[in-house]
Amino acid sequence: MRKKYMKRGAALALGLFLAVNQPAAAFLPAMEAAAYTERTASINGTNVNVRSGPGTTNSVITRLTKGAAVTVIGEQTASDGALWYQIRFTGSGGAQTTGYVSSAYIKFPVSYTSDADFEAYLTAQGFPESYKDSLRALHAQYPNWVFTAQQTGLNWDDVIYNESIVGTNLVSSQSISSWKSTAAGAYDWNTSTWPGFDGSSWVAASQEIISYYMDPRNFLDEHYVFQFLLQSYDGSVQNIEGLQTMLKGTFMEGGTVQTGGSTSSGEGSSSSGETASGGGPGSEMGPGGTGSTGSSGSSSDSTEVRFESPSVAMSRNQTATVASSYGPGMDLGGSGSGSSSSSGSGSAAAPSSGTSSYAEIIMKAGEQSGVNPYVLAAMIIQENGINGSSSISGTRAPYEGYYNFYNIGAYATGSMDAVTRGLWYASQSGSYGRPWNTVEKAILGGAEYYGTNFVKAGQDTFYLKKFNVQGSNLYKHQYMTNIQAAASEGYEMSTAYSDEMKKLPLQFKIPVYNNMPATPCTKPAVDGSPNNKLGGLAVDGFALTPTFNMDTASYDLIVDHSVTSVTVQASALDSKASVSGTGTVDLQSGINEIKVNVKAENGAVREYVIHVVRQAGGPTYTQGTGGLTSGTSATGRASESSGSSQSSSQDLYTGPGMEIQ
* Per-residue pLDDT tens over the stretch 437-495: 999 999 999 999 989 988 998 999 999 999 999 988 899 888 889 999 999 889 888 87
Cα-based distances in Å from 649 to 101, 395, 606, 646: 61, 60, 26, 10
**Helix (DSSP H) and strand (DSSP E) numbers for the chain:** 12, 22
Q: What is the mean pLDDT of the chain?
A: 78
Cα-based distances in Å from 400 to 1, 95, 516, 611: 49, 62, 49, 67
Regarding predicted confidence, which is higher, 389 or 280?
A: 389
C-alpha 605: how far from chain center = 26
Same domain flag for 498 and 357: yes
Question: In the prediction, which pLDDT does 557 show?
Answer: 96
Same domain flag for 235 and 187: no
Gap between the Cα atoms of 351 and 371, Å rounded: 17
For helices 358-369 and 439-453, give the axis angle rounded to 10 degrees: 30
Residue pLDDT, tens place only, 134-178: 999 999 999 999 999 999 999 999 999 999 999 999 999 999 999
Question: In the prediction, which pLDDT does 199 show?
Answer: 75
Residue pLDDT, tens place only, 502-560: 888 889 999 999 999 999 999 998 999 999 999 999 999 999 999 999 999 999 999 99
Q: Is residue 70 part of a domain?
A: yes
Question: In the prediction, which pLDDT does 164 show?
Answer: 96
Question: In the prediction, which pLDDT does 261 show?
Answer: 58
| Range of lowest pLDDT (62-66, 202-206, 351-355, 431-435) | 351-355
- 66 confidence band (pLDDT: 50, 70, 90): confident
Q: Is the peptide bond before 328 cis (omega within 30 degrees of 0)?
A: no
Which residue(s) pair with 85 in the sheet?
75, 101
Gap between the Cα atoms of 111 and 130, Å rounded: 19
Q: Is residue 634 part of a domain?
A: yes
Cα-based distances in Å from 535 to 68, 74, 222, 551, 557: 43, 55, 50, 10, 19
Answer yes or no: is pLDDT of 128 > 60.
yes
Question: In the prediction, which pLDDT does 495 show?
Answer: 79
Residues 10-30: what's their mean pLDDT? 40
Same domain flag for 485 and 346: yes
Question: In the prediction, which pLDDT does 94 show?
Answer: 78
Answer yes or no: is pLDDT of 316 > 70.
no
3-state secondary structure 225-274: HHHHECCECCCCCCCHHHHHHHHCCCCCCCCEEEECCCCCCCCCCCCCCC
Percent of residues, the chain, with pLDDT higher than 70: 75
Regarding predicted confidence, which is higher, 522 or 634?
A: 522
Cα-based distances in Å from 140 to 104, 112, 129, 223: 20, 5, 17, 15
Gap between the Cα atoms of 610 and 623, Å rounded: 20
CA atoms lying within 13 Å on the CB side of residue 144: 8
CB atoms closer than 10 angstroms to residue 654: 22
Q: Is residue 131 part of a domain?
A: no
Question: In the prediction, which pLDDT does 37 show?
Answer: 87
- 338 confidence band (pLDDT: 50, 70, 90): very low
Determine the structural domain holding residue 552 and report its residue range.
Answer: 534-652
Answer yes or no: is pLDDT of 345 > 80.
no
Question: In the prediction, which pLDDT does 302 show?
Answer: 28
Same domain flag for 359 and 452: yes
Which DSSP string corresponds to 307-369?
Answer: ---STT---GGG------SSSS-B--TT-SSS--STT-S--PPPPPSEEEEHHHHHHHHHHHH
Number of domains in the chain: 4
Residues 572-585: what's their mean pLDDT? 96
Same domain flag for 420 and 545: no
3-state secondary structure 128-149: CHHHHHHHHHHHHHCCCCEEEE
Same domain flag for 628 and 566: yes
Same domain flag for 464 and 370: yes
Q: Is residue 84 part of a domain?
A: yes
Q: In this structure, are residues 321 and 290 in contact, taking their beta carbons and an 8 Å threshold? A: no
First CA to last CA distance, the chain: 56
| Range of lowest pLDDT (196-205, 518-527, 571-580) | 196-205
Regarding predicted confidence, which is higher, 5 or 202?
A: 202
Contacts of 158 (CB under 8 A, 6+ apart): none
Q: Is residue 525 part of a domain?
A: no
Which among 77, 107, 137 is the end of a domain? 107
Same domain flag for 182 and 93: no
For helices 240-247 and 373-384, give the axis angle rounded to 10 degrees: 10
| Range of lowest pLDDT (27-41, 123-137, 364-378, 390-404) | 27-41
Gap between the Cα atoms of 479 and 463, Å rounded: 10
197-232 burial: b if 16+ Cβ within 10 Å, else e = bbbebbbbbbbbbbbbbbbbbbbbbbbbbbbbbbbb
- 46 confidence band (pLDDT: 50, 70, 90): low
Q: Is residue 221 part of a domain?
A: no
Q: In the chain, what is the greatest distance between 2 CA atoms, to the nearest angstrom?
A: 104
Cα-based distances in Å from 242 to 138, 162, 314, 492: 21, 37, 19, 12
Which among 107, 123, 145 is the end of a domain? 107
Regarding predicted confidence, which is higher, 187 or 93?
A: 187
C-alpha 348: how far from chain center = 32
| Range of lowest pLDDT (4-13, 245-254, 397-406, 608-617) | 4-13
Same domain flag for 492 and 545: no
- 278 confidence band (pLDDT: 50, 70, 90): very low
Residue pLDDT, tens place only, 370-382: 999 998 998 898 8
Q: In this structure, are residues 450 and 382 in contact, taking their beta carbons and an 8 Å threshold? A: no
Same domain flag for 252 and 184: no
Same domain flag for 560 and 466: no
| CATH number for position 74 | 2.30.30.40
Q: Is residue 360 part of a domain?
A: yes
| Range of lowest pLDDT (69-78, 177-186, 552-561) | 69-78
Question: In the prediction, which pLDDT does 498 show?
Answer: 78
For β-strands 146-155 and 507-514, DSSP reports them as: parallel
Same domain flag for 82 and 200: no
| Range of lowest pLDDT (18-32, 194-208, 362-376, 457-471) | 18-32
| Range of lowest pLDDT (48-52, 430-434, 490-494) | 490-494
Q: In this structure, are residues 618 and 563 in contact, taking their beta carbons and an 8 Å threshold? A: yes
Regarding predicted confidence, which is higher, 642 or 250?
A: 250
Answer yes or no: is pLDDT of 3 > 80.
no
Q: Is residue 511 part of a domain?
A: no
Residues 608-637: what's their mean pLDDT? 73
Residue pLDDT, tens place only, 294-311: 332 232 332 222 233 332
Question: In the prediction, which pLDDT does 58 show?
Answer: 94
| Range of lowest pLDDT (62-71, 96-105, 206-215) | 62-71
Residues 303-332: what's their mean pLDDT? 32
Integer-rounded Cα Rg, in Å, for the chain is: 29
Question: In the prediction, which pLDDT does 68 show?
Answer: 84
| CATH number for position 577 | 2.60.40
Question: In the prediction, which pLDDT does 69 show?
Answer: 87
